[in-house]
Structure formats: C-alpha cells, structure tokens
Structure 1
Amino acid sequence: MLLSATSPAFAADGVPTPPTAGVNWDKGTPEFVSADGQFSFRLKGRMMLDAATTSGSSYPLRNRSGDELRTLRLGFDGMVGDHLYYTFETDFAGDKPAVKGAYIAWRTPHSELTVGNRLSERGVEGSSSSDGTPFMERNAVASATAPLKGFYGLGVIGKVYGRDWHIAAQVAGDDPGNRGVARDTVTYMVRGHWNPIKTRQAAVHLGAWGFYENYPSDLASLSRTTTWAGHVNDRLQVPLGALRDPVDGIGYGLELGGVAGPRWSFLEVGRREIETRTEHVEVEALSVSAGWMITGETPSYSPRGGTLTKVAPKSPLSKGGLGALEIAVRYQLLDNTDAATGGKGQEASVGLNWRLEEWMRLMVNLSHWEVDHKVGRYAGNDTGESLAGRVLVSF
C-alpha cells in the first residue's frame, strides 16, 4: 500500500492507533505499554558503519581507503495518552556525545505541534531520516543549501495535513548537536508539498521550501565544506571558502517526483544566498535520482509528509525470504564558485540497497566524481571513482 505515516502514533490513514497493553516487539525492540494503554515507552537506536575507497585522482593523497562509525545513536520514545509523543536521541559516534532528536509533540490526524530539537523540513531528502534515504549520503541540495544551524534546530514546528498535502513552518535556533557552529542564529523555515495524483499504486509529488536566517552581529565568518562521493574520504570535498562578516541569508528550492508501482524518481533544486557586509554569494545545487524495488516492494515514499521512510520487505530473511532489493541512480551538481574561493563538483552514482529486515540494510554506492577547486592543496580540476559500503541498523 502506498500510504504510510512518518509518526509512530498513526496508522496509514492518519487515524491515531491506540497502543496494546503489555510488551510489543513489532518495531524491533520491546515497547512497554501500561495496562490502561495511556503510556508507552520504547528504546530506540541507530548504527551506521561505513567503509570506502577512492581511486583515479590526479592527487595521490586523495586515493585512499578508510572506514568510520558514522552514527551510533541511542534513545527512547513513547506516547502519553492518544496525542502526546516524546523522543530523545544522543549520537555517540563523534568525539563527544551530541543530542539529536529531543522533543515533545502534540499530534492529531490533521495537525502536529512540536517543541524541542528536531530534524527540519527542507526538500525531500533533507526532510527525511537517514534510515530512509536511498543513498549513503543525502543529496547536494540537502547538504549544501542547509542554513548555518544545520539539519536540526531547537525551536517550534507546526504542521498541518490535508488529504493530499501538508505545510510545515518552523522557528529554530541552533542545533545543540552541531558542534563548531556560532551560537545565537535564528532561522525561519517553511515547506509544503502536494500530491496532485495519489492512488494506491502511484503518486506525483510537488514541493517547495524556503528559509531566512539571521546571523549574530559578532559572527566573523562562515563557511561550509560539502563532502563528495561519500563521507569517509575527507580529502574529497567541495569547499565554499570563508565568507567574512556575514549579515543574513535565505534559501529556497523546488521538488518534483513521484512513485509508480515499484519505481520512483525525484528532481530537487536548491539555492542558498548569503549576504555579507561587502558581497552577495549564491550556492546552487541540483539532484536527479531514480530507483526500482527489484523485489516488488512499494518505494519508501510517505505522501503524508512528502518524505522517504523505511521499506518493509515482503519476505524478510527472518521468515526465510530474500529481503528487499533496490537499485538506484543519481546525478548531482554543486556550484560554490560565486564565492571567491569556492569550488564546484558533480557526481554520477549507482546504489544497491539490500533491506534484510525492516530494521537492517546493507548499502553499496559506486560514484564517478569531478571536483574543481580554485585554491589550496587540490587546486584545479580532478576526477576519479569512489566505492563505499554501509551496514545500517535502525530500530
């Protein structure tokens, strides 16, 4: 069935689903529910273990292999009554723990109000959890046009849902888990999507988003370096360079795509404009992707919020099946050259996803990339190939 919900408190039709008293193992970990069904508590977690190798670069230092524990999250979530949802997650993969999702939300079938630190809505992949996106890294539109605060933000989000549309608005400060970002930024964001066609087997997606960000007066400079062809190789990046004395910025983008049976495709474009006391800088990004669920599952698209979610295999390994197999292709372009020392990159990728269970996925990405730096150790044009793999466990 095409319809699915991003909220654990709702069934596919958006109607609240009351918990069943006792212990429920449907989500991979025990969910404890009180005898009256008015309180639930569940442990949750996510692990991403990555490995990658790069070859073909004109710079020997870029031709390297490595691995990393990209994400190691532990937390909990649950419900109080029929409408109040709570969650808390901490990521232990970095040098020190970082708070990620930490909020409470009041949810009804047609609205939602959230207070706390939550993933912001910006584009299809930028609004989706990393356990639902088809490639190991979110696309360049999500990564390069994000506001200074990052993907998350501490603040208030309001959402309204219709039969085939939704609108989300957010006012957010800094993400407590985004280390190294200047404090006291404020971002105002809005995103909406519409499904002009929506059936049990197909949907067309149209979406748009925008934000305004106000930087603190004592922010001396800002910069962003976007990883390219995977996250493991920190010598393969598309730089923006340091922008001195930033004042404020805006970002906006469009989304077009949809699903039909086991196939899906999306086009995303985005732009971020940064105003400094002496210049105006624009960052432009584009991503085109498509995929096919080889084993016939419905693609991981939720029309309720226009996001990507987990795929449940028709025949998981635990029941003697093959699991869910998906092949995906993507082309993306990032242009930071409007900045004095900004770079440019393009990448064509093929990805293979094997979802053994709903909570476990193996991923392989093969990319042919090209980057162009104006300055620095890797100045000039360079091309090569990168092969990356991931073990993802999310429950």
Structure 2
Amino acid sequence: MRPEDEISIDSIISALLSMVEPIEEQFKECQWDITAKEIYNEKQSLLFEEKLYISQLKTGSCKLNEDSKIFLENELNEIGYMKLNIEESYDGYVVFSRSQMTKGNGKSMCGHCLRGKYDDKFLLIVEKRTEFDYIDKARIEKNMEARNKGDNLLVIRETKINADSQKYKTEINIKDRMPVLIMDGGIQLLMRQLIVNNFWGDFEYYTINVYGKVLRGVITVKKERKKVRIFYRSFTDVIVVKNLKYFNDVVEESSETYFTSNGKIVLHFWPRYNYLLHAIRSPPKPKERILPKLELMWKTDNLLFKHYQKKKKLTLENAMSYLQSHPEVVDFIYDYVHSLLQKKPEVVFPFTVKYFQNMKNTY
C-alpha cells in the first residue's frame, strides 16, 4: 500500500466515525456537574523528600549559640535515620515520616511512623502517629489518631505494653479556634511553607502530643542567618527556626531546625537531648585489609620472603622460556579463548574438558 493510499483510507474512516453521534439517553446518564475535587486522583507532586541521619553527640547536649558550628567525625556517632516526604494531593497535602535508631550499643531499637493529611489551607483532616520503644525487654507502643469532624476534633490514643492495651477517646471543640490546631506532620509542612514564602517572626498554633496534652506552640523564624559545617560540607545563609511548645505557660518541648532557603533541613536538634538529625553523612572510612595470620608470619620473615621471591622469579622465567620454545601452545590457548567467546557456554568447565578432549583426538 502506498503512503497516499493509507492517508486516503484514514481520512475516509475518520469521516464515517464523525457522523456517529451518541443517542439522547447516553447524554442523560453522564454526570456533567462533577467538580475536579470529586474525581479520584492519586498524589500528584512531591514537594519535599529528605533522608536525615540521626547521630549521638559524644560531648553532651547540643548548643548552637555561636554564629557557626562545625561537627567533626569524632563528635558524632551515627545511630539511625529518618525519612520525610511531603506531597501535594488533589485537595491538599500528604505528610509521611518514619525514623528508626538503635539504643544501648545497638541492643534495642526505637522509632516512629507518621501519616497525615491536610487541606489546601493547612487545616488538619486526619493524622496517625505511632511511636515504639523497648524498655527492660518490654515493647512499648503509643498510637494516636486525630481526625477533624467539622467543629470537633476526635482524638483516639492507645498505649500497648507487649500484649496489654489501653485505649482512650475524646472529642475537642475546635469551632472558631484561633490559632489553628495542627499535629506534628502539619508542623513539618507549615515550617517549610514559612521558609519558602520568606516569612520571619512568630507563628502561633495549638497541637496535641502523643500523651494527649494540648500544647500551645510558637514557631519563630529568625531573620539573621548562620553558617553550619557538618563533616566536609559548609552551609551558608542558613535559616534558623525555633519551635517551642508550652503547657500552662511552661516550656514542655523545644527544638531548633536549620533550613536552606528552599526548605531543606540541614540540621535539627533538641537542646535537652544529646542526639541530632543532619543531612550530610560522614565520609566512609577506608577498609583496612587484614592479612591471614600465616601469610603475615612468612612475609615478615626475611628469609622466607626472599625464598618466595626467588621461586616466583624462577617460575615466571621457566614459564616464559617454555612458551617461547613452544609457540604452538600460544596458538592452542588463542583458539580455546576464541571458541569460548564464540560459544559462550553457561558452564565453562565441561566445555573446556570437551574442547581439549576433541583436540586430543584430532592430534
């Protein structure tokens, strides 16, 4: 078929199909009044994706009062990691974070998992948080779910110790509450939005911790910039964000986070504790080659080592002289390698045996 014939046939079929119209009953079944938010849609774009390393300070609690701070390898001991994803969905934002770290010289583990959903105005829709720890061979797990039900906030807390479980449920009236009530995932989202939009100053909110306490929080974005060096990399013009949570006007929790201008975390720490989160990992240590004991013994013995070098030299000289006096061996090896690369057998050893057996019969 010629190209011009194919184009002609395609035009004829398109003209015939354009004459076919749906009947009136089919139009009536279509729901033309569906809004964009009612159409099911998966997550659309990834706003922030971070993997942070958790390290323990060997020198005590962390204090960053100076203009610049340098962390060296001998100051930090890496004990875990934390992953954080903030994604934009069709009607708001989705936050996911997970962490895990070792305790007691690596004998036990602890960590958390968080999933949250917020609308396009950063109002809480639902958030679930789980924290687990091991204390005296007992696994302690704390779960909390907060769900917005219009004027009320439904909070369900559960504490598990091995097989035992206790569950608590309460509703909090949040109608016309100002400042807004957000959870930990919303705080992560909110801090980045403040950074990206060049906000500086104080931002107040309310939150609930995993123990069920309602806390008043204040996020303070400093106008001044700092410099931080972690291992081999320096960060300049770092934005400092302080987060204080109050219970009855007493500071219950406090943390400091160092962001880049595009909302990426450089450093995060809690002044009361001796571990921190950082974006840069320490350079890998070169692996030291450990020699076997017997090999180390004869190599350190000068007499044995000289004897080994002499034998090696004689073996090499003998092999080279034999190949020079028997050039047909080189041709055999060349033919064998050529056949091996041409046939490409899955198992080399049976092919080699068969190849030289055939050569024996030939010669």
Q: Shorter-normalised TM-score: what interval? A: 0.3 to 0.5
- Bigger Cα Rg: 2
What TM-score do you get using the length of structure 1 for normalisation? 0.31
Higher helix share: 2
Structure with higher RCO (Cα < 8 A, 6+ apart): 1
What TM-score do you get using the length of structure 2 for normalisation? 0.33
Higher strand share: 1
